[in-house]
Chain A
Amino acid sequence: MAKLIDGTRNKLSSRRGFLKAGLALGGMAATTGAIAGEGDPAILEKKDWVQYTGDGVDARPYGTPSEFEEHVTRKNVAWLTADPVSSVNFTPLHELDGIITPNGLCFERHHAGIAEIDPAEHRLMINGLVEKELVFTMEDLMRFPRENRVYFLECAANTGMEWHGSQLNGCQFTHGMIHNVMYTGIPLKYLLEEAGLKTNAKWLLPEGADASGMTRSLPLAKALEDCLVAFKMNGEALRPEQGYPLRLVVPGWEGNMWIKWLRRIEVGDQPWHHREETAKYTDLMENGKARHFTWEMDAKSVITNPSPQAPLLHKSGHTVLSGIAWSGRGKVDRVDISLDGGRNWRPARIDGLSLDKSMHRFYYEFDWDGSPLLLQSRAIDSTGYIQPTRNELRAIRGTNSIYHNNGIQTWHVKSDGEVENVEVS
């Protein structure tokens, strides 16, 4: 200890190392609850930040999180795909709270890497079954009425690695192909009305400007109902990895349809059956037949804290359990919690904004006696749909459908507070 205290008298260069060592010690004191000597060094010792001035306003023109949060990042599961250019990383859900995902932590899924587009050279074309085939510049688009909406985006393959049973230890990996942000965008129907839909128009083909030329067939009714052509997320420009300068927002529907780097929308009278809606994003059943056009994301929830990456270190006593829930068909009306592997349930408390097709935050506070727990959460949405167990899903779907796994997740909290991903009888 004495050595470390001496360290505080050194100049700022040693500050970071000291803080890390101090944090580790502080963490230890907190977990044991023991305070040696006169009291807590965090109080008794004079800290650098109390004494010395810090960075001025010019040091961080675009702010980043504290250096003590540098472990909070998206992470890849390298074995999932052949190459990081056509791959996915995962949102660190266990490090977040509330309902909004920070832009830099929104999971990424690219099929040919990130397109880096100069907005001055970006165009949006509408062609096909319209009265006038149109081209818009970004400046043109800024003259349309716009709206602000908070929506979750979940990859259809989220939790897809768990079909055969527990596989990944961490809600970041089991459930992290989701984010929830506020979009600012133009209702797609305004753009379609500007071009003038022909009477036989029934389907759209939005297309990305990236090197995968991403396309999906989108029924016109959905486009007219609530789709947006968005250019901002959480108030600032879309991030390049989220489709800068323009992306499609398809509320409640699988993430693959939210075409990034949107450059063209073709209007047609039938679907295109392109690769991402035939070879991929179709759900293979046990009998060898496959569901297609499975667009909506079913009601789903997960406890984010505790979870394998976020153990319960306090051993026992008052405990806050937290998690997220969402539904592609509306709001989440209720989330139930089980501590005993689904035998008994009690309602959790939804806190904060409850918005249509948005993430909801829930909490459940209880007095933990330190004995092992089998934690589960179960979402019930505004249509009355109840999140099923994994086995209820498997009974209908088998285990080879990859996509749309919204089954109930179980976390085993051991008496030492460590958490593992398990399945229960």
Chain B
Amino acid sequence: MSRFLKIALLATISISCSLPVLAGPLNIGREATSAEVLAWNIDVRPDGQGLPEGRGTVAWGEEVFAEKCASCHGDFGEGVDRWPVLAGGQGTLADEDPVKTIGSYWPYLSTVFDYVNRAMPFGEAQSLEADEVYAITAYILYLNDIVDDEEFELSKSNFMQHRLPNENGFFADPRLESPIAENKNACMKDCVPGVAKIVMRARTLDVTPDGEDNPSGGLN
């Protein structure tokens, strides 16, 4: 490559990567009204920020759950077909077949409130009143043996007193410190002793679409 071309190429690369530096605000858009922010700002955090006023008991939550949730999740959060299981599974996370539920796996109760409030019931999202969300959340605590009184009432004021068992079950991404990331030696020759033997075939399971068997799913 000629020197000129190299310089030209470098110039092109630097141009394509540099962004215009803006001198200041462009005065585009308009200020949101408080009603607009209120309408969309529904998220809830583990420290309780975002929780609306409201309250609901386990007993009422059971009724709401039976009407609006049980067709997918089952009366007791056991899950219908491949819809998510919400209760049970505590103590199974290190098993061969872990059962990940709100009681066994989710770290924060705020996550339950936020998710039910923004995305449930599936197909009719954001239709629940705040009281109903408190009641459903209370019932889920009950299903997971975290509260045991049907008259228990969950509200904005006592919400922070209730924690999920797996709150400390999570840790930060350590991948860059793993032996895999530290290996910088790509072997090229005689990397593994002996001739490679096939130890497993996809065909044995036969679950590729157009195949016949359907194992249980896991994505949802």
A156 to B122 Cα, complex, angstroms:
23
Whether B178 and A396, one on each chain, are in contact in the complex, defined by CB atoms closer than 8 angstroms, is yes
- Could you say which interface size class chain A belongs to? 35 or more
Whether B219 and A291, one on each chain, are in contact in the complex, defined by CB atoms closer than 8 angstroms, is no
Within 8 A of B (CB), among A131-147: 132-137, 140-141, 143-145, 147
Whether B28 and A344, one on each chain, are in contact in the complex, defined by CB atoms closer than 8 angstroms, is no
> Is A103 located at the chain interface by the 8 A CB criterion?
no
B168 to chain A, nearest CB (A): 9
Listed stretches B103-111, B128-136, B150-158; interface member: B103-111
Scan A48-82; emit 1 where CB is below 8 A from any B CB, else 0.
00000000000000000000000000011111111
25 contacts between A and B (CB under 8 A): A77-B208, A77-B209, A79-B217, A81-B82, A127-B41, A135-B29, A167-B205, A173-B209, A187-B19, A193-B22, A193-B25, A196-B25, A212-B118, A263-B40, A272-B46, A275-B115, A287-B94, A334-B186, A336-B188, A386-B180, A393-B180, A396-B178, A396-B179, A422-B200, A422-B201
Q: Nearest 4 A-B pairs (CB), nearest first? A: A341-B196, A288-B94, A288-B93, A213-B118
B3 to chain A, nearest CB (A): 22
Scan A364-376; emit 1 where CB is below 8 A from any B CB, else 0.
0000000000100
A53 to B182 Cα, complex, angstroms:
63
A388 to B178 Cα, complex, angstroms:
11
- Known contacts: A166-B200, A421-B201. The answer to whether A88 contacts B219 by CB under 8 A is yes
Whether A292 and B171, one on each chain, are in contact in the complex, defined by CB atoms closer than 8 angstroms, is yes
> Is A205 located at the chain interface by the 8 A CB criterion?
yes
Which residues of chain B have C-beta atoms less than 8 A from A388's C-beta? 180, 183
- Known contacts: A207-B43, A378-B186. The answer to whether A420 contacts B201 by CB under 8 A is yes
Whether A211 and B200, one on each chain, are in contact in the complex, defined by CB atoms closer than 8 angstroms, is no
Which residues of chain B have C-beta atoms less than 8 A from A207's C-beta? 40, 43
B81 to chain A, nearest CB (A): 6
Which of B25, B191, B192, B202 is within 8 Å of A194, CB to CB? B25
A279 to B145 Cα, complex, angstroms:
19
Which residues of chain B have C-beta atoms less than 8 A from A105's C-beta? none
> Is A264 located at the chain interface by the 8 A CB criterion?
yes
Name which residue of chain B comes closest to A79, CB basis. B214
B191 to chain A, nearest CB (A): 6
Which residues of chain A have C-beta atoms less than 8 A from B201's C-beta? 166, 412, 420-422
Within 8 A of A (CB), among B13-45: 19-20, 22, 25-26, 28-32, 36-37, 40-45
Which residues of chain A have C-beta atoms less than 8 A from B96's C-beta? 400
Which residues of chain B have C-beta atoms less than 8 A from A270's C-beta? 45, 47
Whether B32 and A127, one on each chain, are in contact in the complex, defined by CB atoms closer than 8 angstroms, is yes
> Is A227 located at the chain interface by the 8 A CB criterion?
no
Which residues of chain A have C-beta atoms less than 8 A from B200's C-beta? 165-166, 422-423
Within 8 A of B (CB), among A338-370: 340-346
Whether A268 and B45, one on each chain, are in contact in the complex, defined by CB atoms closer than 8 angstroms, is yes
> Is A294 located at the chain interface by the 8 A CB criterion?
yes
